Amino acid sequence: MGLLWIEAKCDEHGFERFTIKIIKKFNMPSDEIAPRYRSRPKPGELSCLLVGRDVTAREIERYINDYFREKGLWGSIIRMRFEV
């Protein structure tokens, strides 16, 4: 489906950019969002989202916002951009 580009302030590096892949799957429930996490280099961070057929971009954005608020990183996000 696309990529989500994120730019954030980082205490260690000053500025950091990273991407989260968004993959549309047809063999899962049509309204489900399933996260996939990294194993390296930083285990436990979000690497991609598997989404069902009927998931909208707004629902993905809401899920990402909730994820960063839960992790306590929402205040450091400068910009998020969807690329299809």
pLDDT tens per residue, range 68-81: 999 898 999 999 99
How many whole angstroms separate alpha carbon 53 and alpha carbon 28?
Answer: 8
Q: Quick one: average pLDDT of 31-46?
A: 87
Q: What integer pLDDT is reported at residue 53 of this predicted model?
A: 93
Would you give the DSSP letter of residue 27?
A: S
Taking only the tens place, the pLDDT of each residue in 54-68 is 999 899 999 999 999
Exposure string (b/e) for 43-66, b if CB count within 10 Å is 16 or more? eeebebbbbbeebeeeebeebbee
- Nearest alpha-carbon partner for 33 in 17, 19, 14, 53: 53
Residue-range domain boundaries for the chain = 2-83
- Nearest alpha-carbon partner for 51 in 37, 32, 78: 32
